[in-house]
Structure 1
């Protein structure tokens, strides 16, 4: 049984981590969040110590260590811009980190963490659950079996409606979230680069506060992509059904079905991490470079545009 701490216990994604810790038969000994609406912990670890101040949480972890209680992992579910700092704290306390995506916001943050990882002897893991989805694994095998000269044509569309709260929260602040492409798209870019190889071209056609779109060319694919949190971008047939999310990956005219099977992927991620098979800094690097360039590129008129941008 390993000892875990959790930073960001009141967040949207925290219950998946709590469940994964419990269902892999491990123990949560401490949790932190500046918000105290964490009643969800009662369903998993009611006896875990809870803190609303980082300083007291950090001191508690140190006292446990001096008393002989080893902290093995720190799970990080905090806002994107805090990941770097919280990863460093985990390693400094002699624990491995398990961090939600994006691991960090900038490519140079990855390089710095590589040095700290090496110095500490600890490991940094990130959650890239799409790599564990059966449909995605099947697609990767299909692409690997195809001729190296063949390029697939891909249309990625992801619209997930968000209310007015989004813009007020840290997610609406690009300096904290990295913007739309980073906040809701980084796992898709990771999936695309994992399946189709290195990036050859990265063009941005649209970049607004609530939507973004562009063209990515990989070694084995030409990808037109569009991401949005604006419900007005939803296809009419989706809105008529009262649905607020639309997700589509179309490859050479064939829809990739991957809407089901997400429920247990955090559990699977934890199982692999505990075996020493987690996704690390090197796995995250390419997607972080992609979103950083999207965030900082000039808007272009050239290149193939996604249908929703046209």
Structure 2
């Protein structure tokens, strides 16, 4: 591969315009954005004009056939992550796919298998991994400061934060609501810090209490008459190594804070909250709290894109892998299945990816 990564964009929506493209451009001489594709031609043309992207397509298949591309950003609604990623991998491209990996575990497994067979990078847009708090805590975890982490709590709660744009409230296109959209970020963060243990059993419940009626919208007005997702989900996940996670996530709930995203870890030698970062230990017969006096400041998305580019050019493994995507997708879909059936779900598949 040349020293310049030729990048194509699939999906010309907000995440492409607000996160991917601006941060590819920050990579300066390392990246050239050569094409954008969207089923809505006007959106693709507008984006191409704004960022001087030379080629515009309404079909990503045509784009992959017509233009020499090294790497693809998949910025579509969740339903199209799998087909777009598969097409890009089969065309010989590395892929940065927005979260969640897919709509089903089977799709995530096929994506991971295809990337492995093609010898291409497949990574996902879990940008919270690149937060300075997460990176600092990971160093403490890897250094044994928390010991064996046997429990965690995941929180992704909004008081009235139902997105009033896009297709976030459309279950057919998204696969679900806050669990698969914001809960997945904090869940991935917890799993990353815990070493991505293999899931064993999940139990979940979902609620639709506020989203299907008119109300105050702190993130714009939403179409409450066609609200087909959960507005809140709760769950418990156990892992084959004996660890467990409690999860709570909502777009709308009657809670105090307008927006809370956090992970709490509990280990044998210490515990921690991630946002803001605080570590809890017992040393020299004293209970102590540790807080950093300084953390570097750089955008999460900027680091995500920069590290994807470097991984492609240097042919090294990215922080988020296809196998981790499979584990995560099994948990998400297991929680939805558990909520639907009203019983715990055993996750028994063996991962080969």
Taking structure 1 as the reference length, the TM-score comes to: 0.77
CA contact (8 A) 2:156 2:182 kept: no
Q: Look up the SS of the partner of 2:8 in the other structure.
A: strand
C-alpha distance 23-151 of structure 1, shift in aligned 2 (>3 A): same
CA contact (8 A) 1:87 1:99 kept: yes
Q: Per-residue displacement from partner, 1:151-195 (whole Å, max 9, x unpaired)?
A: 3453524226345846xx533233321212112221222111222
CA distance in 2, matches of 1:74, 1:19: 15
CA distance in 2, matches of 1:112, 1:61: 20
CA distance in 1, matches of 2:243, 2:22: 36
Q: Look up the SS of the partner of 1:30 in the other structure.
A: strand
CA distance in 2, matches of 1:160, 1:14: 27
Give the length in aligned residue pairs.
Answer: 281
Q: Which has the higher helix share?
A: 1
Query: Could you list the runs of 5+ residues in structure 2 that have no partner in the other structure?
Result: 209-229, 278-294, 312-316, 345-353
Q: Per-residue displacement from partner, 1:263-290 (whole Å, max 9, x unpaired)?
A: 6222222222233242221232221111
- Alignment counterpart, residue 174 of structure 2, candidates 173, 177, 184: 177
Q: Which residue of 2 aligns with 1:7?
A: 10
Aligned pairs for 1:114-129 within 5 A? 114-129=112-127
Structure 1 vs Structure 2 CA RMSD: 3.0
Q: Which residue of 1 aligns with 2:73?
A: 75
**1:86 Cα shift?**
0.4
2:259 equivalent to 1:245? yes
Q: Look up the SS of the partner of 2:103 in the other structure.
A: coil
**1:300 Cα shift?**
5.4
Q: Which residue of 1 aligns with 2:237?
A: 216
**1:214 Cα shift?**
1.9
Q: Which residue of 1 aligns with 2:221?
A: none
Q: Which residue of 2 aligns with 1:67?
A: none
Q: Look up the SS of the partner of 2:14 in the other structure.
A: coil
Aligned pairs for 1:71-220 within 5 A? 71-144=69-142, 145=144, 146-148=146-148, 151-152=150-151, 154=153, 156-159=155-158, 161-163=160-162, 165=164, 170-180=167-177, 181-197=179-195, 198=197, 199-208=199-208, 209-218=230-239, 219=241
CA distance in 1, matches of 2:65, 2:275: 46
CA contact (8 A) 1:24 1:267 kept: no
Q: Which residue of 1 aligns with 2:342?
A: 299
C-alpha distance 118-221 of structure 1, shift in aligned 2 (>3 A): closer
C-alpha distance 204-95 of structure 1, shift in aligned 2 (>3 A): same
CA contact (8 A) 2:36 2:48 kept: no
Q: Per-residue displacement from partner, 1:101-145 (whole Å, max 9, x unpaired)?
A: 112122222322234224434332222222222211233343441
CA distance in 1, matches of 2:61, 2:56: 11
CA distance in 2, matches of 1:5, 1:174: 27
**1:212 Cα shift?**
0.7
- Alignment counterpart, residue 281 of structure 1, candidates 317, 322, 339: 322
CA contact (8 A) 2:9 2:16 kept: no
CA distance in 2, matches of 1:262, 1:175: 37
Q: Look up the SS of the partner of 1:151 in the other structure.
A: strand
CA contact (8 A) 2:159 2:254 kept: no
CA contact (8 A) 1:155 1:224 kept: yes
CA distance in 2, matches of 1:79, 1:5: 17
C-alpha distance 265-47 of structure 1, shift in aligned 2 (>3 A): same
Q: Per-residue displacement from partner, 1:11-52 (whole Å, max 9, x unpaired)?
A: 345321001211112111111223334645555x2243223x
